Amino acid sequence: MRLFIKQQVLSLNDRFTVKDENETDRYFVEGEFLTFGKKLRVYDQHNKEVLYIEQKLWKLMPEFDLFVDNEKVATIKKEWAFFQNNYTIHGQEWDIEGSVMAHDYVIKDQGNVIADINKKWVSWGDTYEITIHEEKNVVLLLGTVIVIDCVISAARNSSSAAH
């Protein structure tokens, strides 16, 4: 399964659509406005919430919990590390390999690639392609990619604000 996320550049709150390879809307992601920390809800094409993402506050490094049906299923943490992928995924024994900053990485489960993430350069904006090899984890893999992109975007915004 291939999914595509078009990066939304100027948005007060996070709101975007995840499309499949036929350009059909598959998921809708909506952020809560005026909250402390990121809070994102992912809905399927029938408008049913399939994932809730909440940033933990008061952490030195970004940390997000992922919930399915009000049950925490994973925690994604950015760790302090130089020159390596520095995300850990607790609750799922997944590893990330490749260049997260370049949006060219894979997610592995016990050494097997379960998702490929690549940034596509198109004229109408940056688009991320997610190729999912294990459809049973599609929602969690999508949530993982969204969290990593949130952390990268926040880091870019804070470094550009400092200049």
Domain boundaries, the chain: 2-161
Question: What confidence tier does 8 reach under pLDDT thresholds 50, 70, 90?
Answer: low
Res. 39: pLDDT tops 50: yes
Cα→Cα distances 22→1, 47, 105, 139, Å: 11, 19, 23, 19
Q: On the CB side of 17, how many CA atoms lie within 13 Å of its CA?
A: 8
Q: On the CB side of 37, how many CA atoms lie within 13 Å of its CA?
A: 14
Distance between CA atoms of 60 and 39, rounded to whole angstroms?
Answer: 18
**Residues 142-156, mean pLDDT to the nearest whole number:** 84
What tokens were used for 21?
């390879």
CATH of 2-161, one of 3.40.1000.10, 1.20.1250.20, 3.40.1350.10, 2.40.160.200: 2.40.160.200
CA 50 to chain centre: 14
- State the pLDDT at residue 36: 74
Distance between CA atoms of 90 and 50, rounded to whole angstroms?
Answer: 19
Cα→Cα distances 17→27, 36, 82, 84, 106, Å: 6, 23, 33, 30, 22
- State the pLDDT at residue 95: 87
Cα→Cα distances 124→65, 86, 102, Å: 31, 30, 19
- Cβ count near 73 (within 10 Å): 16
Task: State the pTM of this model.
Answer: 0.85
